[in-house]
Structure 1
Amino acid sequence: MVKGEMGELGEIILPHPPDPHSVSPWEIDMTITTDPDIGAREALRLIGPDPDNWIPDRQGIDHNVTVVGGSGSGSVFAFALRRAGIGRVTVIDAADDEAHAGVWLNRARMNKLRTPKNLPGPELGIPALSFQAWYEARHGADAYAAIDRIPRLLWAEYLSWYRQFLGITVRYQTRLARIEPAEGFFRLHLEVNGVPQVETTRKIIFANGVAGTGGPYVPPVLDDLPRRLYAHTVDTIDFAALRGKTVAVLGAAASAFDAAGVALESGAKAVHLFARRPAIASLPINRVRGYPGAYYNYPELPDAARWFQAWRFREVGSTPPADAIERAIAFPNFHLHLSANWRSAQEQGSRIVAQVNDDVFEFDFAIAGTGYFVDPTKRPELADFAQHIALWRDRYQPPADQRADDLGTHPYLGSAHEYQEKVPGSAPYLKDIHIFNPAGFVSFGLPIGDVPSIRRDVPAIVSRITHDLFFTDWTLHETRITSDNIAPDFDASLYAAAVWKQPVKA
């Protein structure tokens, strides 16, 4: 994605459950005794059991699908693949445990999710598995109606319930170090609890978040500073240590304002936020293409149209929510600088001396809220074949007035989010690696991996995996579906007495 945004940490105020004194004694008793998960259990009963695994075993293959990333997206894929009858799926995550996986309990600093509360998401069309159903079962419909967007910590709690309720296993402390292509499968070079290990898989899904196909973008102006004097919003930041300090924040999208808000709430002496634009981006242009026609058909648009939409978003800028701005400006010691490019930054006496336009400022610490870059060639796990991955710059040359080098390094993905070959025939295995992270932004027009992309893109990826695994093993399936080696439902004795017989003439 184009220097995209992700959520950050912060305090929230939860809505109160309904007042027990406002309901009847019968309703109070039901609130106490009813299992809040009963609706979800009933929904799973009504859709029937999960299909049996229909993928034939292959000698030497450990997994049919490996999902990289065990937070929200990884869990959704695990459930979707199970419902498609695809077995031997493993979900891996480098984090130590569930509490440290993903962003919601770690690097996310927003108070509430950016997206509307009622967007379809992890439930995959089963309403009883939705956030709304989960929340209302615990706090009531009135409490859900009272929230405008989903509080971040409640979203993390919901995702934890989703994993546990559906019995999704995530293998934590399992880091993917390298993918080695082989004939018809991949060797995954892993570090499991710090110990090297090799496993094999036929398909890979990257559901690994904002930096999954690149990394954090740090402005070059900070390169000359020692690392102890600055951080990126992706980092774990000791905000308590910033108490009484003067802090600079570079960037003006959501993560920058979130970091500023947490620093101020933690007791920073002053926070200065520097925006390179003359005004804070406020036009949410992505929102206008959320209607079904554009949402479902966007991947089939011509390259020129998709590029223009990505370029237009880049030019307009990523919009922070109004409440993220209000959180910061509520403090009198917050200072906003517009059209404020940092020209230089140097260490002097353990502080940062920055020249911003024609002014000079001193800071104790700087935070880069400047988003992320996308470039498969920068990912060590892809080093064996990154040079073969088709990028947008390889497939489309924009007009001179729409040039954007950072968009050009996004992978040019197929309709199921699969990598494609730069040169046809050079790396046919790339079609077996599917990308569900912001690297799909130019190809699919959304922040891929966020809630808005789930309804369209998870089914598309799972459908393709189903197709590929079936037709790759077609000879085995052909034998299976034409086999007569099955027991009959009944024999002729069932209807023998009813068979017409010509009456015997007298």
Structure 2
Amino acid sequence: MSRPGNPDLAASESLRLLGPAPAAWVPHFAGTDHDVAVIGAGQSGLTIGYALRRAGIERVTVLDASDGEHVGSWAAKARNLTLRTPKTNPGPELGNPALSFRAWFEAREGAEAYAAIERISTADWIGYLAWFQRQVKVPVRRGVRVAKLEPDISGNIRITTSDGTIEVARKVILATGVEGTGGPRIPAEVADLSPSVFAHTGHQLDYRTLQNRSVAVLGSAASAFDAAATALEAGASEVHLFTRRPDLIVIRPGGKGPSHAQVETFHRLPDAERWRRRSAFTSSVPLDSVLRATAHPNFRIHLAAPWTRATEIGGQVKIEAADGTHTADFVIAGTGYQHDPRTRPELAGIADRIALWRDVYQPPAAYESEHLGAFPYLGAGYQLTARDAADAAWVPNIHVFNAAASQSFGLPVGDVLSLRGGVPRLVETIVGDLVLADLGRVTPPAGPAATPSREEYEHAVWN
């Protein structure tokens, strides 16, 4: 039987063996505060900050709007009890096993405990990310919300925060998780409901307020089921979940996920093939999320029951669905996210200069989708692309490593699965961009001074 130990010791020793981070090589230019600004300090932002420093980029700032109590949005918004990805997926450690979740967990709980879990609990993942940040020493400035991004005269990115502070970075990375470059996707049927009777799963909601109240959940993917289960566990009198599908798409244990080769080459496929595959994508729900909700006798699933209208009347919601009329005290929409940059406050001022998929690719009529067309069209290094060539000098200095990249890269970017290949690709692109941008502006460092003396090798010169 293995004995728990101290994960800090193994982590610090692995970092010692790697050696110090490379010396900073990016020249400082007047008028810039940062070489790279990372917006978001969840699992992606922390991994990116670590990788940038290991690449010799020192002037990096990581900004997060949270108050310091949470790592990303896991504790604030996540309602799933476990991660939805296998525990064996590589994560923020980027190839260093001593920084992996497994190393942290086994050192604390033992190898047998790790073998016994099927997926990582959300609480353990939050604890691991906090530990990871301490080990790699990524400095995070918390409580800083970005209000606006815009170019300066040199093509750098001006960052205005909510308190009016302006900072300038040569590169900006949006590591903003599921909200991406947009926000919650609110269907028209529920758009007029007030916050007193409505919330999206992406909103912060105190589920204790749903005690003894009837709840209607719109949607059938994982977030919808997790919201339904959380409401039931909080004491809701009844919860009804509505889906437009005639049946659920349930992911059962043992199923095969996509190979890393497929995941890491999706962005190289032709636009038509990428669009076709994304059009065929359907949301699913893990079996344990289904079982968690259906364990409650006051939970009901309405299949083939899309909503046509939801009306707020006297503090309740009247729902007109394909299977009849229903009434609920509160409505929760588990309907995912949209990624139109025009709806994102910090991007609103430059949104019309960002190329979207609909600007670049026109699908056949059978595959038309307003939703997919509003995703930003990204380059191979996760960079935004410009609608107009006149903006090509600065638009690609904003990189998108969040869910908005899914249309270009084929998987939920920012999830654990995307870190192993995605972060190195992102950092490689940023390194290359900075080097190329400085050609002609910076004199390469001189080599070692030549000496005419032959005294060290005169005896070996052949005549």
TM range (shorter): over 0.9
Confirm whether residue 44 of structure 1 aligns to residue 15 of structure 2.
yes
Of the candidates 400, 415, 420, which is equivalent to residue 365 of structure 2? Answer: 400
1:353 counterpart residue number = 318
Answer whether contact 1:420 1:430 (CA < 8 A) is retained: yes
Q: Structure 1 residues 292, 108: CA separation in 2 closer, same or farther (over 3 Å shift)? A: closer
1:157 counterpart residue number = 127
Of the candidates 438, 459, 462, which is equivalent to residue 473 of structure 1? Answer: 438
Q: Structure 1 residues 216, 86: CA separation in 2 closer, same or farther (over 3 Å shift)? A: same
Q: Higher mean Cα deviation, 165-174 or 274-283? A: 274-283
Alignment of 1:309-328 (within 5 A): 309-313=277-281, 317-328=282-293
Q: CA deviation at 1:484?
A: 4.1
- Secondary structure of residue in 2 paired with 1:425: helix
Q: CA deviation at 1:470?
A: 1.0
Cα deviations across residues 437-471 of structure 1 (Å, max 9, x unaligned)?
Answer: 11111111111110111111111110011011112
Of the candidates 214, 225, 230, which is equivalent to residue 262 of structure 1? Answer: 230
AA partner of residue 47 (structure 1): L
Give the TM-score, by structure 2 length: 0.94
CA distance in 2: counterparts of 1:269 and 1:103, whole angstroms: 28
1:223 counterpart residue number = 191
2:250 counterpart residue number = 282
- Select the structure of larger CA radius of gyration: 1
Of the candidates 268, 288, 298, which is equivalent to residue 300 of structure 1? Answer: 268
CA distance in 2: counterparts of 1:333 and 1:221, whole angstroms: 25
In structure 2, runs of 5+ residues without a counterpart are none
AA partner of residue 392 (structure 1): W
Confirm whether residue 384 of structure 1 aligns to residue 355 of structure 2.
no
AA partner of residue 305 (structure 1): E
CA distance in 1: counterparts of 2:257 and 2:111, whole angstroms: 30
CA distance in 1: counterparts of 2:311 and 2:348, whole angstroms: 34
AA partner of residue 167 (structure 1): K
Of the candidates 284, 291, 301, which is equivalent to residue 259 of structure 2? Answer: 291
Q: Structure 1 residues 289, 494: CA separation in 2 closer, same or farther (over 3 Å shift)? A: same
Confirm whether residue 127 of structure 1 aligns to residue 97 of structure 2.
yes
CA distance in 1: counterparts of 2:187 and 2:98, whole angstroms: 45
Of the candidates 76, 79, 83, which is equivalent to residue 50 of structure 2? Answer: 79
AA partner of residue 196 (structure 2): R
CA distance in 2: counterparts of 1:90 and 1:500, whole angstroms: 54
Q: Higher mean Cα deviation, 417-426 or 67-76? A: 417-426
CA distance in 2: counterparts of 1:246 and 1:382, whole angstroms: 38
Of the candidates 269, 279, 302, which is equivalent to residue 337 of structure 1? Answer: 302
Answer whether contact 2:71 2:126 (CA < 8 A) is retained: no
CA distance in 2: counterparts of 1:469 and 1:485, whole angstroms: 25
- Secondary structure of residue in 2 paired with 1:415: coil
Q: CA deviation at 1:145?
A: 0.6
Q: CA deviation at 1:223?
A: 2.8
Q: Identity over the aligned pairs, expressed in percent?
A: 45
Cα deviations across residues 168-211 of structure 1 (Å, max 9, x unaligned)?
Answer: 111011111111201131211113xxx32111110000001111
CA distance in 2: counterparts of 1:230 and 1:501, whole angstroms: 88
AA partner of residue 403 (structure 2): P
Of the candidates 142, 145, 158, which is equivalent to residue 187 of structure 1? Answer: 158
In structure 1, runs of 5+ residues without a counterpart are 1-22
Q: CA deviation at 1:160?
A: 0.3
- Secondary structure of residue in 1 paired with 2:7: coil
- Secondary structure of residue in 1 paired with 2:386: coil
Structure 1 runs of 4+ aligned residues shifted over 3 Å read 475-478, 484-488, 490-496, 498-502
CA distance in 2: counterparts of 1:348 and 1:232, whole angstroms: 19
What's the RMSD between the two structures over aligned residues?
A: 2.2
CA distance in 2: counterparts of 1:51 and 1:290, whole angstroms: 35
Confirm whether residue 428 of structure 1 aligns to residue 393 of structure 2.
yes
Q: Structure 1 residues 340, 163: CA separation in 2 closer, same or farther (over 3 Å shift)? A: same
Q: Structure 1 residues 484, 226: CA separation in 2 closer, same or farther (over 3 Å shift)? A: closer
Confirm whether residue 56 of structure 1 aligns to residue 27 of structure 2.
yes
Answer whether contact 1:93 1:101 (CA < 8 A) is retained: no
CA distance in 2: counterparts of 1:355 and 1:484, whole angstroms: 76
CA distance in 2: counterparts of 1:61 and 1:73, whole angstroms: 24
Give the TM-score, by structure 1 length: 0.87
AA partner of residue 45 (structure 2): G
Alignment of 1:246-257 (within 5 A): 246-257=214-225
- Secondary structure of residue in 2 paired with 1:228: coil
| Matched length | 460
AA partner of residue 218 (structure 1): I
1:362 counterpart residue number = 327
Q: Structure 1 residues 500, 288: CA separation in 2 closer, same or farther (over 3 Å shift)? A: closer
